[in-house]
Structure 1
Amino acid sequence: MTKNSSSKQQAEAVSGPVWDWAAGHGPVTGALSATTGAFAVATTGTAAGMPPGWALAVGAAGAIGHTAAGIRLRNAGRTIAARAASWLVGAGWTTWAMTNGPLTWAALGSLATIGVGIGAATRSTNLYEEAREEEAIAAEQRQIAEALSAERREIAAEWIDRIQRVCSVTVRVLAVEKWEAGTGFTIDAELPGATTYERIAGHSAALSADAHLPHGCTATANPGIHQGRTLIDVATVNVLETETTYPADYAPLSLHTGIPWGYRSNAEQILAYLREQCALVVGPTGSGKTNMVHVILAGFARAVDVLTFVIDLNAGSAGLSWVLPALQHQPAEGERQLRPGVDWLAGTVDEAHLMLDAVLRIGHQRKISYQSLMTREDTDLLPIGPKIPQIMLVIDEGAEILVSNDKPLKKLAAKILEVIRMLRAMGIRTVLTALGSTASVLGNLMIRREAKVRVALTGGEKEGMDLGKLFPGSRGLKVDQAPYKGAGFMGTPESPAGLFKCWRIKPSQIREIVATTSERHPTLDTVSAQAAGEDYARRWSRDRIAWMHDTDRTPAIPADGDGTEGEPRQGLNLAALREPHPEQADRSDADRLADAFMREIDEQFGTTSEPNRSTTEPRPERERPERPGLNLSALREDRSSAPETEPEPGAEGGPEWLTDAIAAIHDAGAAGMKPSAVADHVGRSRQAVRETLKAAAARGELVYRDNGPHSVYVHPDHA
């Protein structure tokens, strides 16, 4: 027994029981109060010589007052009568006792009998009033239920007729449940015979039109409790039209309980369970895909058992918002440094290779080192938790990397596919994004098989949005059902594909989440950290993240006054054409300076001396009309003093005959010349001519007009 409890018992022993003087009288206390009051009045009145009629008058007044109060409170008649009778009987006994003496056995016995009667009557009337009140409440509830039932019966009858008319299916509605948000209802219907729910799901658009639902609202049929029943979700309020910010409750999440990615048309959150599943998010430009990537990263940042690795070859833009608040944070004295919202960010191909190599090593080492743990837990999946976190690899436009023909990206794609294919059991999964649900993106069997959590942000864009390929087996999905930014369709193994809306997350919220969840992020387990090695340990080293701090760099401004001081220089910076500074002239002679300028221009613009001289006789220069553009002849050597040499085959300026070809193409005017005609003109093979002209077009000496079999090369003067 505690000290406080013993003290309390001692206090109760000293002071006695505690009376609640504010409590009302019950049957026993009420009868006792009435009888003792009557006895006290009788004895006092007898001793004082009070007229007996006064007691009867007081009793009559009390009976009248209680009768009026009972009527106002709408008490039952028996309750009013019992209370009035109690007053009158008590007043009558008091009058009789004052006349004949209250201290006789007859007076005391009759008073006791009256007390028992009053108690019994009070108990009976109280029970009756309680039963009467409960019956009134039940009647009110029955009335409400009847009204709701009538509304549900009306809805059921309406939709039975509509489904019969549109789908040629006669269903039996078992229940109609209204959504708590008040944005629609769900119909539980029994299907006839061998009819499946797909029969109704295929007419979703027609049912929605027949019901005159608002834009963005649909009637969608889903599987029921068994294959002979279906649940038809009917949205009556378009919640996808309004923009809703990300919930401000940044409470901890877990991978096992689901990560919220948005909300359905019934305003319920939709969760993504990614312990074993990968995810694919597609959306064209302007559909809100980048915003959804931030929503996904926000959910991972809030999770206590997830570490996020991000690959974004577009300068790391998807992850910078989650890294910079921590890198720029200046902790106060005694305050800990913020941890970034993502655990690793790769913005270049080289850094992505380091990340993927580390991830593969982590997965392979986990398979070896955690065998005893999985045996002890009797599972073939690595137990994921705060001590052994799951690694979520978010790759912005990763689906395009997987189908790219670029050689550096092919090597990257091979490693991504190996992660997807090999490391599911070891708690390493991916979230890929893509610009559209095209055949090239979904043609990879690995993506279709592993990415069971799929999102299509349409934004009203129809090109490249094949919902049938992204959600096979789902019928009735149309892009024009979700024409709003951030809206689209989402399907998971637990929830069939349907309309949803992603929250709008603002940069200020990202900074708040980074600060709020800094202490919540798990650390990579020792086995995985050792396998990842120095590449992981030095991921935030100064040389590896220098590009993240390079956010304030501005283009160089001209050194000499040309009327643009203080503004970034537009166009090419041809410093070779400017007057050299005196100190530069002092350090080198004119020839060496010209050579250096020439090498710089050759490296940047691919220019060389014009192949317009022959070893046998000089070729007269053709007159060229003046045209806008670059003229780098000021940097070329004075050919009057240079020995005439023939350009080597394969040189950057092209072979000797290229000048004749360019002149012929110029003379052809705007019509240009085909490569075959040029080959006939210069007497060379078509393959050699085609490659040389292609190189000349790359240098800007010609313009290529692609028109299939009628493709031609045109001189820039006529382009």
Structure 2
Amino acid sequence: MTATKTKTVTHNGLALDWAAGHGPITGALSATTGAYAVATVGTLAHMPPSWALAVGTVGALGHTALGLRQKLAARTISARAASWLLGSGWTTWALATGPLTWTALGSLAVIGVGMGAAARSVGLYEEARELEALAAVERQVARELSADRRAIAAEWVDRVQRVCGITLRIVAVEMWPTNTGFTIDAELPSGGTTYDRIARENARLSADARLPHGCTAAASPGIDQGRVLIDVTTVNVLAAEVPYPSDYSPLSVHTGVPWGYRTNAEEILAYLREQCALVVGPTGSGKTNMVHVILAGFARATDMLTWVIDLNAGSAGLPWIRPALEPTGDGQQVIRPGIDWLASTHEEALKMLDAALRIGLYRKRAYQDLMAKANTDLLPVSHAIPQIMLVIDEGAEILVSNDPETKKLAKKILEVIRMLRAMGIRTVLTALGATGSVLGNMLIRREAKTRVALTGGATEGMDLSKLFPGGNGLRIEQAPHKGTGFMGTPESPAALFGTWRILPNQIRDIVHATSDRHPYLDAISAKAAGPDYARRWDADRTAWITEHEHTDTEPGTRDPAMGRGPSGGGLNLSAHRAAPVAPAGADEDALAEQFRREIDAQFATAPDPIEAPPTRPGLNLSAHREEDNAARQAALTLLIAAGPEGTGASAIARGLDRYGTTRQTVVGWLKTWADEGEAVRIGAGTKTRYVHHTHAREHTSDDPDED
């Protein structure tokens, strides 16, 4: 296809658009000059005067017919016909008497002014007619809508009077774009009547209106305390299973994360920059699915890192890790897990919570200048400094447990909730029921302002009045379907809602789609988190993810190094490595060592705690690195852990035995770090040691000898 190029011509003088239509002035000027030219040329050529009159008559008749076809106003048709007749009449007279007289020129000028004025007048009239016609159509539509709305208003005035004993004055009735209901905006009667007198009777109003099951008439505050909004749902949108939206566009903690949809089909957002959240749901209510919906929203965010604690074998977080364990072909995108850390045991959960506390307390000191510059007492959360969201499955039960080990977790969870709001560390707890024992902690009730109750029709252990104090008219029978219940936030009062259905295949798609979007933990926080965070993907801490039995369909098809199935079925990280795969008869220690080396080399951890995040997003799984990143990372961790006393190349090399790293390699790293300012060299000769720059601000060394 050949593209047509338009050449723009710039004129220095007046630019004339010869394709444009005539206005009142140019039209009159064109008509009068044309008549004068015809009269002058016709006089010289001895043209019969009657010809000009005949032409004008034909023109008048033609424009009359065209005006009738276009349904123009009578005055417009008359003005056009008169213009033709006057012009042709003057031309006929000029041909007979001569056009080169002051009388002829003057009369032509008068005719031109008259034509222009008439054209302007009828043009305005036609515009007014067109606007009036459009307005008439709009008034007709408004009358039809108003008739329906007036009927609704009158019906609900009577209903509220009958059920609640209150006489309302309806201000407006807004029909929902989804055609699933409407909202009534009404003024309350004088005398101190409040909206909650209607809210308490939501169930009775719904029954009086004969609304379908799952539909409600819910009253909420209006624009001021003398107004009330009544949302009336006429279609039960919660009955059908709705898949999670396929739009995986970026989200932010500042703009809210979608957790579900209201009965009017609008998304409901959770704003968790300063709030914690509590999700309650008995077995079979869709709570696990809700957790995955929450994790999906966090994975889409560009300024949030998700840490998950699930003491039930880590099942809540495993689907978000497995896509990163699947083998990828050469040149394909490296996939990072959908969550940043997963704890399935008390020991790992304690490490995670301790790391969170260290991060929060260190951020308070390290980011004082940044907060002062931003003139805020809240840490400015962004992609560079992400918020950490701790999702703790059945965390509310942990808080009330009497088990000694679990009590340690409960204490640290409460410390995180109480101390780290301003520093961008918040929690999402789940629970099996809304009972007094679960909701008895005042800290939970005060901080968890975003609350969800998935009922699934279950009534045992679901006291909505405890979870939503002041939530009038909430009844479990209104949400009998799995994945439905009630959700309340500071921005949106507690009301019916439903959550989307998300399946493992879609979780995998989300992990792949958002892999390059996840932020890295900022250097200051990574430093505070220490080795517990840096080594969270070590083989000895993640072996439980892949340690499970496989039934082989054919003997001899298992990868002895990975303990996984045939090609494409496991975490094959040795495809491009020089280390040979252990034979099938190798002992278990050798296999474990081989597996640990490969895991460490590929899931090396987050970026170096004190270095800027790598420019390439994603877990660094490259098989062709020039040096072993895992060993280098471990060496840097040992250097940091050595503290102000520092350490030497030999000591670090001994700590890297399992990587097979030589002392000469460590010496090269230390020299590089010293040249880059990452480490400070102290002493000389056999007493040489290196101290990380965060522990030694004033040490210097000039002696190049090594120990």
What interval of TM-score do these two structures reach, taking the shorter chain for normalisation? Answer: 0.7 to 0.9
Query: Are the structure 2 counterparts of residues 347 and 45 from structure 1 closer, same or farther at C-alpha, using a change threshold of 3 Å?
Result: same
User: How many angstroms does 1:41 deviate by?
Assistant: 2.9
CA shift for structure 1 position 65: 1.9
The secondary structure found in structure 1 opposite 2:485 is strand
- Contact 1:277–1:450 at 8 Å: present in 2 too? yes
Which residue of the partner structure matches residue 246 of structure 1? 244
Give the gaps of 5 or more residues in structure 1: 1-7, 559-719
Note the C-alpha offset of 1:330.
2.0
Match for residue 412 of structure 1?
A: 409
Deviation string 1:132-173 (CA, Å, 9 cap, x unpaired) is 222332333333333333332222211111011111122222
Residues 96-139 of structure 1 deviation map (CA, whole Å, 9 limit, x = unaligned): 22222333333333222222221111111111211222233233
Deviations 1:686-712 (A, max 9, x none): xxxxxxxxxxxxxxxxxxxxxxxxxxx
Are 1:180 and 2:173 an aligned pair? no
* SS in structure 1 of the partner of residue 249 of structure 2: coil
Partner of 1:121: 118
Which residue of the partner structure matches residue 627 of structure 1?
Answer: none
**Aligned-pair CA distance for 1:533:** 0.6
CA distance in 1, matches of 2:277, 2:460: 22
In structure 1, distance between residues paired with 2:17 and 2:480: 66
1:536-586 alpha-carbon deviations (Å, 9 max, x no partner): 01112233222223466349999xxxxxxxxxxxxxxxxxxxxxxxxxxxx
User: Which structure 2 residues correspond to residues 8-407 of structure 1 after superposition, within 5 A?
Assistant: 11-13=9-11, 18-192=15-189, 193-330=191-328, 332-333=330-331, 337-407=334-404
Q: Secondary structure at the match of 1:22?
A: coil
Find the aligned partners of 1:218 and 1:103 in 2 and give their Cα distance.
Answer: 87
Partner of 2:690: none
Cα separation, partners in 2 of 1:311 and 1:556, compared to 1, 3 Å: farther
Q: Secondary structure at 1:418's aligned position in 2?
A: helix
Q: Which moved more, 1:460-469 or 1:490-499?
A: 460-469
Do the aligned residues in 2 keep the contact of 1:235 with 1:266 (CA within 8 Å)? Answer: yes
Instruction: Indicate the residue corresponding to 2:455 in structure 1.
Output: 458
Higher deviation after alignment, 366-375 or 413-422: 366-375
Aligned residues: 549
Q: Deviations over 1:411-460 (max 9, x none)?
A: 22222122112211221111011122122221222222211100011122
Task: Output the CA distance in 1 between the equivalents of 2:203 and 2:293.
Answer: 30
C-alpha separation in 2, matches of 1:557 and 1:130: 84
* Alpha-carbon shift at residue 331 of structure 1 (Å): 5.7
- Give me the whole-angstrom Cα distance separating, in 1, the residues matched to 2:388 and 2:116: 74
1:483 and 1:72 map into 2 onto residues whose CA distance is 63
Q: Deviations over 1:14-35 (max 9, x none)?
A: 7x65543432211122112212
One-letter amino acid of the counterpart of residue 279, structure 2? V
Q: Which amino acid aligns with 2:292?
A: H
Residues in 2 aligned to 1:377 and 1:99: alpha-carbon distance in whole angstroms: 89
Q: State the alpha-carbon separation in 2 of the partners of residues 97 and 243 from structure 1.
A: 85
What TM-score results when the alignment is normalised by the length of structure 1?
0.73
The equivalent position to 1:516 in structure 2, one of 513, 517, 522, is 513
* Alignment partners' CA distance in 1, 2:10 and 2:548: 73
SS in 1 for 2:437: helix
Deviation at 1:281, TM superposition (A): 0.8
Q: Is the 8 A contact 1:287 1:459 kept in 2?
A: yes
Question: CA offsets per residue over residues 232-255 of structure 1, 9 Å max, x none?
Answer: 111112222222222222222111
- Superposition deviation, residue 196 in structure 1: 1.9
Give 1:390 shift: 1.0
3-state SS in 2 of match to 1:271: strand
- Aligned amino acid, residue 225 of structure 1: I
| 1:361 Cα offset (Å) | 1.3
Per-residue displacement from partner, 1:210-263 (whole Å, max 9, x unpaired)?
Answer: 111122110011112222221111111222222222222222211111111111
Letter in 2 for 1:58: V
Letter in 1 for 2:358: R
Q: What is the CA distance between 1:336 and its match in structure 2?
A: 5.0
Separation in 2, partners of 1:512, 1:40: 77
- Which deviates more from structure 2 when the two are superposed, residues 123-132 or residues 138-147? 138-147
User: Residue by residue, what CA displacement relative to the aligned partner does 1:266-300 show, whole Å, maximum 9, x if unpaired?
Assistant: 12111111111110111122222111111111111
Which range moved further: 285-294 or 375-384?
A: 375-384
Contact residue 187 and residue 232 of structure 1 kept, 8 A: yes
Q: State the match for 1:495 in structure 2.
A: 492
> Is the alpha carbon distance of 1:64 and 1:13 closer, same or farther for their aligned partners in structure 2, counting shifts above 3 Å?
closer
Quote the offset at 1:195 in angstroms: 2.1
SS at match of 2:519: coil
Query: Alignment partner of 1:528: what SS?
Result: helix
What is the CA–CA distance in structure 2 between the aligned matches of 1:329 and 1:220, rounded to whole Å? 51
Q: Counterpart amino acid of 1:54?
A: W
Distance 2:352 2:163 in 1: 55
Please tell me whether the aligned partners of residues 173 and 189 of structure 1 are also in contact (alpha carbons under 8 angstroms): yes
Query: 2:446 and 2:11 mapped to 1: Cα distance?
Result: 75
In structure 2, C-alpha distance between the alignment counterparts of 1:477 and 1:392, rounded to whole Å: 29
- Residues 1:440 and 2:437 aligned together: yes
**Matched AA of 1:276:** E
SS of corresponding position for 1:432: strand
Q: How far 1:48 sits from its partner (Å)?
A: 4.0
Amino acid in structure 1 at the alignment position of 2:306: T
Summarize deviations over 1:377-426 as a string: whole Å, max 9, x none: 33332222222211100011111222222332222222212211221122
Q: Deviations over 1:618-657 (max 9, x none)?
A: xxxxxxxxxxxxxxxxxxxxxxxxxxxxxxxxxxxxxxxx
Q: Which moved more, 1:291-300 or 1:90-99?
A: 90-99
Answer with 101-110 or 346-355: which moved more: 101-110
SS in 2 for 1:431: strand
In the alignment, the residues of structure 2 paired with residue 315 and residue 101 of structure 1 have an alpha-carbon distance, to the nearest angstrom, of 110
Paired position in structure 2 for 1:548: 545
CA distance in 1, matches of 2:247, 2:553: 45
Q: 1:182 & 1:395 partners in 2: Cα distance?
A: 38
Partner of 1:687: none
Query: Given that residues 329 and 338 in structure 1 are in contact (C-alpha distance below 8 angstroms), is that contact kept between their aligned partners in structure 2?
Result: no
Q: CA offset at residue 498 of structure 1?
A: 0.2
- Structure 2 CA distance, aligned partners of 1:488 and 1:346? 29
Cα distance in 2 for residues equivalent to 1:383 and 1:89: 78
Cα distance in 1 between the residues matched to 2:208 and 2:111: 74
1:468 to 439, 448, 465: 465
Which deviations, in whole Å up to 9, do the C-alpha atoms of 1:445-486 show, x marking residues without a partner?
222221110001112222222111111111111111112221
Identity %: 71
Residue aligned with 1:275, SS: coil
Which blocks of at least 5 consecutive residues in structure 2 are unaligned?
1-6, 556-707
| Aligned residues of 1:340 and 1:518 also touching (Cα < 8 A) | yes
**Whose Rg is larger?**
1
For the residue of structure 1 that corresponds to 2:378, the secondary structure is coil
